[in-house]
Chain A
Amino acid sequence: MEFPQSFRDHLLRSSGLTVFLLLWELAPRLEWIDPDFLPAFSTVMVEVCELFQEGALQIHLLVSIWRGVTGLLLALALGLPLGLVLGRYYRDLAETINPLLRVLSQVNPFTLLPVFILFFGIGETAKVAVVAWVCLWPVLFYTITASREVPLILVKTAVSMGASSEEMLLKVIVPAALPTIFVGIRIAACLTFYILVAAEMLGAGAGLGWLVHNSAMNYQIPRIYAGAAFIILLGFLLSRFLRYLERGLFPWQFEAMFQLSGEPAQLAWRPRKAASIAFACTVLVALVIGGFQVDKINRASAQGGHTGHHGHQTMAEDAPGGPAAGGHGSMHHGGTSVPSKGRGSDLDMSDMTMEEEH
Chain B
Amino acid sequence: MKSLIVKRIIAVGIALSAWELLPRLGIIDPLFIPPLSQVVVTINGLLESGELPTHTLISLQRAFSGLTAAVLVGIPLGLLLGGWFPRLQQGVEPLMELFAQANPVILAHIIIFFLGIGEGAKIFIIGWLCIWPITFSTIAGIRDVEAQLVKAARSFGLGRGSLFFRIVLPAAAPAIFTGLRLSAGYAFIMLIASEMMGASSGLGWLVVQSQESYHVQRIFAGAVVITALAVITDLLLKLLERRTVIWTNTGELDICDTHEPKRVNLYQEEAP
Contacts and interface: CB of A to CB of B under 8 A. Distances in A.
A197 interface: yes
Contacts of A13: 90-91, 93-94
B248 interface: no
Contacts of B102: 228, 232
B246 interface: no
B108 interface: yes
A91 B205 CA distance: 41
A91 B7 CA distance: 13
B128 interface: no
B227 A330 contact: no
Interface stretch (B70-78, B148-156, B168-176, B184-192): B184-192
Contacts of B101: 194, 231-232, 235-236, 239
Interface string A199-237: 001100000010011011000010011011001110110
B105 A115 contact: no
Contacts of A98: 8
Interface string B1-33: 000100110111001000000000000010111
A103 B19 CA distance: 15
A170 interface: no
B211 A327 contact: yes
B77 to A, nearest CB: 13
A321 B117 contact: yes
B223 interface: yes
Interface string A152-195: 10011001000001001000000000000000000000000011
A118 B267 contact: no
B259 interface: no
B223 A112 contact: yes
Contact of B227 (A9, A106, A195): A106
B105 A17 contact: no
On chain A, which size bracket covers the interface? 35 or more
Interface in B182-232: 185, 188-190, 192-193, 196-200, 204-205, 207-212, 214, 216, 219-220, 222-223, 226-227, 230-231
Contact of A12 (B31, B90, B216): B90
A327 to B, nearest CB: 4
Interface residues of chain A: helix, strand, loop or mixed (majority): helix
A68 B184 CA distance: 24
A278 interface: no
A115 B220 contact: yes
Contacts of A330: 211-212
A37 B231 contact: no
B105 A209 contact: yes
Interface in B71-123: 87, 90-98, 101-110, 112-114, 116-117
B110 A17 contact: no
B147 interface: no
A148 B269 CA distance: 9
Interface of B: 4, 7-8, 10-12, 15, 29, 31-33, 87, 90-98, 101-110, 112-114, 116-117, 185, 188-190, 192-193, 196-200, 204-205, 207-212, 214, 216, 219-220, 222-223, 226-227, 230-231, 234, 264, 266-270, 272
Interface of A: 9, 12-17, 20, 37-38, 88-89, 91-92, 95-100, 102-103, 106-112, 114-115, 117-119, 148, 152, 155-156, 159, 165, 168, 194-195, 197-198, 201-202, 209, 212-213, 215-216, 221, 224-225, 227-228, 231-233, 235-236, 239, 321-327, 329-330, 353, 356
Q: Which 10 A-B pairs have the closest CB atoms?
A: A323-B198, A114-B211, A111-B223, A327-B208, A16-B95, A16-B92, A37-B113, A235-B101, A15-B91, A198-B105
Given A16-B93, A95-B8, A216-B109, 12 more contacts: A16-B94, A17-B98, A88-B268, A95-B4, A96-B4, A100-B11, A107-B223, A110-B207, A159-B267, A236-B101, A321-B117, A353-B32
